[in-house]
Amino acid sequence: MSEVAPLISDLAIILIIAGIVTVIFKWLKQPVILGYIVAGIMAGPSVSLVPTVSDPANIKIWADIGVIFLLFAMGLDFSFKKLINVGITAIVATVTIVCGMMFIGYTAGNAMGFSHMSSIFLGGMLSMSSTAIVFKAFNDMGLLQQKFTGIVLGILVIEDLVAVVMMVVLSTLAVGKHFEGKEMLESILKLAAFLIFWSALGIYLIPTLLKKIRRFTSNEILLITSLGLCLGMVMIATKAGFSAALGAFVMGSLLAETVEAEKIVHIVQPVKDLFASIFFVSVGMMIDPAMMWEYAVPIFILTLLVLSGQVLFGSFGVLLSGQPLKIAIQSGFSLTQVGEFAFIIASLGVSLNVTDKYLYPVIVAVSVITTFLTPYMIRLSEPAYRFIDIHMPESLKDYLVHYTSGAMTVKHQGTWHKLIRSMLVSVTLYLVVCVFSSLYIFPMCIL
């Protein structure tokens, strides 16, 4: 008698449990993302009341695919034009958040008795919010068209880019016990070259390709082509030393600039929903109730630090960039979770054998708890803004109004400004092509 492969049986278990639990959560008018996490806890190895998966490693593969398609879908919805519109705000807010949360994480780690290196890694983990979780929460709550969600997604994209550089810095620190400026600068140049080169190439090639084959394509062919381009960019990104999520987002952003963007979003949606649900179930499977009880105090402290720190630094960073107080508070409350990059940074510390062994399960528990609280924190932003607005002194209120109106004033550019800008764009593109060729193409030719 033939048996079902563990990969299929495990997938069947998590989808059945997820389907039942999410129906209950929908009936209770709760965010579906919370139902996926509860389903993951039930399907995980720590709960024996229901059938559990036999090989969690198989689910991790499906979850990795889910992250790729989530970031791909986010790229389709958040094009480069939107990123440019919130560019300055996102950069200022990201720098504020990362610096503030790195300091809080390092200080808290030292205070709780973590090792010096574990405290540094902890700061990096706490500074990274979750692009996938926030995007899913916004989508479920119908907030994607709000102005603050565009700013939040811009911050998250830049945080993902910062995380790539941060991993290089942390690796250098772990191995050499000091900053290696040359290696860090090379990593930044490689990242910039990769993004600009493929963006410039894709903006010219991909729309032309889709226009050429438009009359021959059906929904099926367009779906296969889009997913193929997505996974192709994922392979290129990983070969270049970057994350698969970054490659998926870049390709989604490129396809968002094509005439077929809306159609691609529609036909990719079911694929994204399937694998995204598996990803969030896998997040729930990482939690062990017994482990949470053993490390309850540090988990509780770090959870409070993430919630309060992200609200404080996120709101302050967005406000500092010139956005109104309401948008700043909404943005800060939306970033109150530990993201998937924290797992990558934690795995890096474990593989290099420089962090305490209990740091990984602690950060996973904090991530799951903050993920649970994300939809509620987003909803809490409105009453929080009203409370602050009522109790804020009029003088401070007037100052913020003048500050934001001055920062958002549109300055007209003369002809020579446009000329200089166009020249800088051309020079930058040529420079990027040269750097990209020297870093990637020439070494491959030599080999």
pTM for this predicted structure: 0.70
Q: Give the whole-angstrom CA distance, residue 307 versus residue 334.
A: 10
Contact status, residue 133 vs residue 245, Cβ threshold 8 Å: no
Contact status, residue 299 vs residue 365, Cβ threshold 8 Å: yes
**pLDDT given for residue 237 in this prediction:** 82
Contact status, residue 88 vs residue 321, Cβ threshold 8 Å: yes
Q: Mean pLDDT, to the nearest integer, of 212-239?
A: 84
Tokens 């007037």 belong to 398
Task: Answer whether residue 361 shows pLDDT above 90.
Answer: no
Contacts of 419 (CB under 8 A, 6+ apart): none
List the end-to-end C-alpha distance of the chain, in Å, as a whole number.
51
Top-confidence residue, 184 or 381: 381
| Highest mean pLDDT, choosing among 7-11, 302-306, 352-356 | 302-306
Task: Answer whether residue 238 shows pLDDT above 60.
Answer: yes
Alpha-carbon distances, residue 384 vs 96, 303, 391, 404, 438 (angstroms): 21, 19, 11, 20, 51
Percent of the chain with pLDDT over 70: 82
Task: Answer whether residue 418 shows pLDDT above 50.
Answer: no
Top-confidence residue, 272 or 289: 272
Task: Answer whether residue 283 shows pLDDT above 70.
Answer: yes
- Return the amino acid letter for 107: T
Tokens 């750097």 belong to 435
Structural tokens at position 59: 């689910």
Q: Mean pLDDT, to the nearest integer, of 189-207?
A: 74
Q: Mean pLDDT, to the nearest integer, of 128-136?
A: 83
What number of H helices and E strands is found in the chain? Answer: 20, 0
Q: Mean pLDDT, to the nearest integer, of 375-384?
A: 91
Q: Give the whole-angstrom CA distance, residue 347 versus residue 20.
A: 32
Task: Answer whether residue 82 shows pLDDT above 80.
Answer: no
pLDDT digits (tens, 9 = 90+) for 149-162: 888 888 887 887 78
Q: Mean pLDDT, to the nearest integer, of 109-116?
A: 87
Contact status, residue 126 vs residue 338, Cβ threshold 8 Å: yes
Confidence of residue 172 (pLDDT cuts 50, 70, 90): low
Would you say how long the chain is, in residues? 447
Our measurement of the distance from residue 349's CA atom to the centroid of its chain's CA atoms, rounded to an integer in Å, reads 20
* Residue 341 CB neighbour total at 10 angstroms: 24
Confidence of residue 300 (pLDDT cuts 50, 70, 90): very high
**pLDDT given for residue 429 in this prediction:** 46
Task: Answer whether residue 117 shows pLDDT above 80.
Answer: yes
Confidence of residue 312 (pLDDT cuts 50, 70, 90): very high
**pLDDT given for residue 8 in this prediction:** 79
Task: Answer whether residue 306 shows pLDDT above 90.
Answer: yes
Task: Answer whether residue 93 shows pLDDT above 70.
Answer: yes
**pLDDT given for residue 305 in this prediction:** 94
pLDDT digits (tens, 9 = 90+) for 38-62: 888 888 777 776 667 767 677 777 7
Closest among 96, 122, 371, 73 to 223, alpha carbons compared = 73
| Highest mean pLDDT, choosing among 139-153, 276-290, 369-383 | 369-383
Contact status, residue 40 vs residue 285, Cβ threshold 8 Å: yes
Give, in words, the CATH class of 56-277+287-390.
Answer: mainly alpha
Task: Answer whether residue 20 shows pLDDT above 60.
Answer: yes
Task: Answer whether residue 178 shows pLDDT above 60.
Answer: no
Confidence of residue 25 (pLDDT cuts 50, 70, 90): confident
Q: Mean pLDDT, to the nearest integer, of 360-378?
A: 86
Confidence of residue 105 (pLDDT cuts 50, 70, 90): very high
Task: Answer whether residue 332 shows pLDDT above 90.
Answer: yes
Top-confidence residue, 433 or 175: 175
Contact status, residue 329 vs residue 347, Cβ threshold 8 Å: no
Structural domain spans, the chain: 56-277+287-390, 422-446
Confidence of residue 427 (pLDDT cuts 50, 70, 90): very low
Q: Mean pLDDT, to the nearest integer, of 87-108?
A: 89
Task: Answer whether residue 232 shows pLDDT above 80.
Answer: yes
Q: Mean pLDDT, to the nearest integer, of 327-348?
A: 85
Top-confidence residue, 177 or 394: 394
**pLDDT given for residue 443 in this prediction:** 46
Percent of the chain with pLDDT over 90: 13
Q: Give the whole-angstrom CA distance, residue 68 versus residue 234.
A: 8
Contact status, residue 194 vs residue 212, Cβ threshold 8 Å: no
Q: Of 180-184, 370-374, 402-406, which range is least confident?
A: 180-184
Q: Mean pLDDT, to the nearest integer, of 131-147?
A: 82
Degrees to nearest 5, angle at CA 294 with 351 and 345: 25
Alpha-carbon distances, residue 439 vs 245, 258, 445 (angstroms): 21, 29, 11
